[in-house]
Amino acid sequence: MKIDPNTKVILMGDLNDNPTDKSMTKILGVKADPAVVKPGGIYSPWIDFYKKGFGTLGYQDAWSLFDQSVFSYGWLNKNQSGYFFNKAYIFKKEYMIEKMGNFKDYPKRTYAGTVYNAGYSDHLPTYVILLKEIK
């Protein structure tokens, strides 16, 4: 990105930090508003989600949002011939949420200790929409 500030880079995964943590805002320098991202900078659509109380995993009686995708400046221009970032989502359906017990209202785990719980994961998945104009 230092060589070409328009390079398209997506950093994604379980980053083990929330989007507002120092590792994201100070070290990586992510911004919550794509309009203020400068060439060579990084945008995180997850900051607003997290500030509104949305998350992907429950930890210590609170939601955390560790499952993220952040986008380099090159993804933000919607007037380009290639793909561009459009929107981010947390995939959350009722069947994915625990209904009782210690993890009530959090993602339904596959295992709770050594007990098979028939769940999916202790994290909710996230996904993004990338668009490209077709002429």
pTM, whole model, 2 decimals? 0.90
* Domain assignment of residue 76, yes or no: yes
Tokens 């398209």: give the residue.
8
* Domain assignment of residue 45, yes or no: yes
* Domain assignment of residue 118, yes or no: no
Per-residue confidence (pLDDT) for residue 112, from 0 to 100: 83
pLDDT profile of the chain (135 residues), mean per 10? 93 96 96 96 97 93 95 96 96 94 90 89 97 90
The number of CA neighbours under 13 Å toward the Cβ of 131 is 12
**Contact by Cβ (8 Å): 125, 91:** yes
Q: Which of 2, 13, 77 is nearest to 43 (CA)?
A: 77
* Domain assignment of residue 62, yes or no: yes
Per-residue confidence (pLDDT) for residue 59, from 0 to 100: 82
Q: Write out the residue range of the structural domain in which residue 69 sits.
A: 10-93
* Domain assignment of residue 15, yes or no: yes
Per-residue confidence (pLDDT) for residue 60, from 0 to 100: 82
Number of structural domains, the chain? 1
Per-residue confidence (pLDDT) for residue 46, from 0 to 100: 98
* Domain assignment of residue 133, yes or no: no
* Domain assignment of residue 99, yes or no: no
* Domain assignment of residue 119, yes or no: no
In degrees rounded to 5, what are phi and psi of residue 105?
75, 5
